[in-house]
Chain A
Amino acid sequence: MMAFFKKKELLIMMVVLGLIAALVYVQRPVVLKLGIFTGGSWNVPSVTTYEFVDEIIERFEQEHPGVQVEYEAGIRRQDYPTWMADRILTGNCPDVFLILDEDFFQYAQLGVLKNLNSYLVSDPQFDPSRYFPGALEHGCFDSKQFVLPLESSPELMFVNVSMLKQEGIPLPDENWTVDDLYAICEAVTKDIDHNGTVDQFGIVGYNWNHILTAYGITINDKDGKIKLDHPQLRNALQQLKDLDALNKTITPTQQDLDEGKVAFAPMDYAQFVTYNPYPWRIKRYSNFDWLCIPMPSQEAGKSSYGGAWLSMGISSRTHYGNLSWQLLKEFCYREESQKKMVLNGSGVSALQGLLFEDEIIDYYSGIDISSSLINTIMQKGPHNSIMLDDDRQTFLDVQINKILDEEDELDLSLMELERKINKQ
């Protein structure tokens, strides 16, 4: 059998085939694949993404002749995790791609992301201190840098300035606390038309995630378990319960906020930027003055801010590590790109120096937020105190809200909930 295949011939055949394959491989033009989604990074309308991306790609291709950058258009943010999962499973992971906070740990653990430590050390052009402290740590796992921050959307507090003025309450400064928030809410919660139901409210949309961030509590422990049986956590939830109790039986709605009947509401930067410029601002909150201030913390001076990051990383399976690193820097490190991103109004840059450039200062003052406020928040490093996949996040949301509404004995119910969620 197979007598016509002599061993030598077989070997020669293998070598020749290998050489042909290598030649074909080498002759191919270099194509870098980019994984991005459309519709803005945050859940607010935005139309500038592809324009922004195309500009960066064009510049990159000019600086690296013979290299093409391709991306698949039309992937929506909500479809992006599934799209990425498809790519990962079929072995077609893009070379450089966007990473949402909720996917980061999974990707890092699975080995989807390339460890960037060697580039950080060997690239003389790269200076980590140009980022805000904590911005790079956010993309660290197991002391390996896996991603660079593209943009951040810190959480801010919407304040109805007209209402506070009317009630004679001064605008809180950036060191305000949750206790201050409670005091103001208590003061403004009123039945103005005296019909027996409260119709001016303190705060809407302030949930357990916000208060946990204010307290600086993390519920994820190192081995992926959730820890809820924690005195600080109980105190935070108790305070949230007290805040809710101010409204008696009525829960304020988004409509109340739009109509100027609510003093405070958490609002992330992206939402703020989106609603602020003309014509959004006019359309939504036209009958009162408002602005955004930092979120309150548990103790004055010990501020901790919530917020989301959009990061970018390189596939561990890429064939063009160095080019990908250059492209990654083009997005996340190059000042021009980052400036363009800020001016497009999609998020806050993680580059420190950018904040004090005239163009940016002008931009921020144009949208009624000060560069120093952004600086204060970014210096602390906005972060999510809760890192959960969608299923567990929804489950906890429902369960904790149920506990807040129905239970008086927080300790027992939290213990029970901790057991339940870790069993899942």
Chain B
Amino acid sequence: MFSYFRTVSRVRSALIFINYMIIMVYAGVFLMGTRYLVVHQESLAFLSQLPHIPKDPQIVFIGCFVLYILFAILLLNSKQNQIFHFIDLIIEWVISFAIILLLDLSTQSIVLLVICDCLYHVRDLKNSQIYCMLTFSIVLYMFSNYSIMSQIIALNNLQSYFTVFSPTVNALLSSVRTILEGLNLLLFILFIAYFTVNQYKEKENIAQELEMVNEVNAQLRHYAAITEQAAENNERKRIAREIHDTLGHALTGIAAGIDACLIMIDKKPELVKGQLQRIRNVVTEGIGDVRNSLQKLRPGALEQQSLEGALKKMIQEFVSVSNVDIVLSYKLPELDFEKTKEDALFRMIQECITNSIRHGHAKHVAVRIETDQNIPDHIIVVVQDDGQGCETIHPGYGLMQMAERISTIHGTLSYEGKDGFVCKAIIPLQKGELK
């Protein structure tokens, strides 16, 4: 990378030098040619060869010199790693076109230098800016073409000043000009070649890095799958243990108690009563155990807190890990929800927020829980975001599961993705839930 900068900088410096030579050769030939014509009294004959009245050769010479020095200072001052200003480029264009005009469009070599300089700075630019710059340069190139522009505006022909000298001098000057212009073109091609190769290399490097990242990603996914499976296994073991420890125990006890009852029922019916009383106690105990087990399987947050508290905590966690603004509006009277209902609502809201962030790339999410104004004894849950949404919704695993969960508590789920994503659930309240 470093060697690329160095080479390109050198080519650019060489171009600046060669262009100086070319411009001074033209301006010099113009100035000296005019002097030669006047001294040798050939001006009258030469005048008839010209297509248009020439400019003052002295002004052209001095003007070219001063403008080119300014141009060169501007170019050499702007290093590649500096912050790029468009105004610099515009000044460059203006100065270079002024020089071209001074020389009556007889040489366009400086345009090649300007194009190189555009490309020299493209690293910090957007594509549109690069295109804009290149278009301008091409337009400049067209406008500086003698054969095109001499049809439109009256121009002098500086090429003819090369022929005023003696044949030897003429041949010498012409070859110097040809060599310089050839060199200029060669360096330009070299610059473009370097630039293109470098651009290609950079692209390749990026592709390689991307591939590496993809590989790492795949490994991570694999690892996540393994971890999930392990967690599932652990959960399974826990559930099995719980069942074994609670239900198994109770059921075994019940089975043994009932066996005893079966034996005793004919001989000592009064004892059976006591036995059944004991079995009932075991059942009651079993129910309590099962409840306790279920309690252990509930979402962590809900286990300790109310639905509102759990939601707040969950939202807090989301907000802390992503830059999403989530607003919760919880307007329910004191309710004695069944735990399954609480679970379903909690999971639904959690899933919705996850979707908004993951799929919708939303910045704001509003969560609303309140009693339905239209249908009595129903509550309504709305999760709305300002993300991308989607015109047609193909329900995936998440949405299906959500709908399933809501239907188990006799609710209905609806969603819409036209303007952001809105997910709405209406759930009936059961008797006794309202306090």
Contact = CB atoms under 8 A, between A and B. Distances in A.
Interface of A: 1-2, 5, 7, 10, 14, 81-82, 85-86, 88-93, 106, 110-112, 316-317, 389
Main secondary structure of the interface of B (DSSP, over half): helix
B47 A110 contact: yes
Given A91-B54, A91-B58, A106 B77 contact: no
Interface of B: 34, 37-38, 41, 43-44, 46-48, 50-59, 70, 73-74, 76-77, 88, 154
Q: Which 3 A-B pairs have the closest CB atoms?
A: A91-B56, A85-B43, A85-B44
A224 to B, nearest CB: 11
Contact of A90 (B48, B50, B52, B57): B57
A81, A89, A90 pick with most chain B CB within 10 angstroms = A89
A91 B56 CA distance: 4
A110 B70 contact: no
A14 B70 CA distance: 9
Contacts of A389: 48
7 contacts: A2-B73, A2-B76, A2-B77, A5-B77, A82-B41, A316-B53, A389-B48
Contacts of B56: 90-92
B53 to A, nearest CB: 5
B44 A90 contact: no
B77 A88 contact: no
B34 A90 contact: yes
A88 B55 contact: no
B53 A85 contact: no
Nearest to B54: A89
Contacts of B51: 110
Given A2-B73, A10-B73, A82-B43, A89 B52 contact: no
Nearest to A3: B77
A275 B281 CA distance: 161
A279 to B, nearest CB: 37
B57 A91 contact: yes
A110 B58 CA distance: 20
B163 to A, nearest CB: 14
Contacts of A111: 52-53, 154
Given A5-B73, A110-B50, A91 B59 contact: yes
A85 B46 contact: yes
A106 B361 CA distance: 75
B76 A1 contact: yes
A86 B53 contact: no
Nearest to B47: A85
Nearest to A14: B70
Contacts of B57: 89-91
Given A88-B47, A90-B38, 15 more contacts: A2-B77, A7-B77, A7-B88, A85-B43, A85-B46, A85-B47, A88-B54, A110-B50, A110-B51, A110-B53, A111-B52, A111-B154, A316-B53, A317-B53, A389-B48
Contacts of B54: 88-89, 91
Nearest to A92: B56
A197 B50 CA distance: 54
Contacts of B43: 82, 85-86, 88-89
Contacts of B74: 7, 10
A82 B59 contact: no
